[in-house]
Structure 1
Amino acid sequence: MFIRSFVDKIQKRLVSHFAPRSRPIFNYFNEDSVKAAAVNIPDDVTEGHFAVLAIKGEETKRFVVELDYLNNPAFLGLLELAEQEYGFRQKGALAVPCRPHEFQKILDEWRNSFN
């Protein structure tokens, strides 16, 4: 139930963000701001990927995962936990409350389910 609510919120934000506007979205960005944003993206986060920090207690590890993992029910459960623990206002890499070795197991199981 909570996941559905979370997905609904994201969909509403995306629809409102990409809905037709009276002026083009490109008016809000200038070339310098686009270049500055590109500079802040680490080289290992390529197109179609995003950074995730698995954090539990003193254990922290950074992962770069494919967008496809957003379809993984276990990952969606972690996003729910992250929302409860950290809220929606995270900046930078997405942090999930999970031990790094447990997060790696979730990634491996999802990847192996397609092989």
Structure 2
Amino acid sequence: MLNPVRLVEIPRKLQNKIKSNTPSSPKGHFAAYTRDGQRFLVPISYLNSKIFKDLLKLVEEEYGMSSDGPLVLPCDASFMRRTLEMLQNSKAKC
């Protein structure tokens, strides 16, 4: 039989291991995943754009308001790449 103290330590060790393996985002960015599992680093300033507001509404409709796990957008990687390029180009013109 395992010691109860050791049983309490196991989840903590696992959680620390998970945190150390989780990639972090640079300051001013957040990570978003597409439906096909691609990870994108998105500048926080893009959250003010109409397209991201619409994407977040779709996320809420499709997945609900859960805060568990990463943000998964209801689109594929090619759509996300085009969207980020478009937003970057529009920011460069300003």
One-letter identity of the residue aligned with 1:70: L
CA contact (8 A) 1:54 1:60 kept: yes
Q: Does 1:87 align with 2:80?
A: no
Work out the CA distance in 1 between the residues paired with 2:56 and 2:91: 22
Alpha-carbon separation, structure 1, partners of 2:79 and 2:53: 14
Percentage of matched positions with identical amino acids: 35
Alignment of 1:60 with 2:40, yes or no, is: no
| Structure 1 unaligned residues grouped into runs of 5+ | 1-35
Distance 1:99 1:105 in 2: 10
TM-score of the aligned structures, taking structure 1 as reference length: 0.58
2:74 corresponds in structure 1 to 97
Q: TM-score, normalised by structure 2?
A: 0.69
- Please state whether the residue corresponding to 2:30 is helix, strand or coil: strand
Does 1:51 find its partner at 2:28? no
1:69 aligns with 2:50: no
Quick one: distance in 1 between partners of 2:67 and 2:75?
16
Count of aligned pairs between the two proteins: 74
CA distance in 1, matches of 2:76, 2:60: 17
- Whichever of the two has the greater Rg, that structure is 2
Give SS of 2:68's match.
Answer: coil
Aligned partner of 1:42 in structure 2 is 23
List alignment gaps of at least 5 residues for structure 2: 1-15
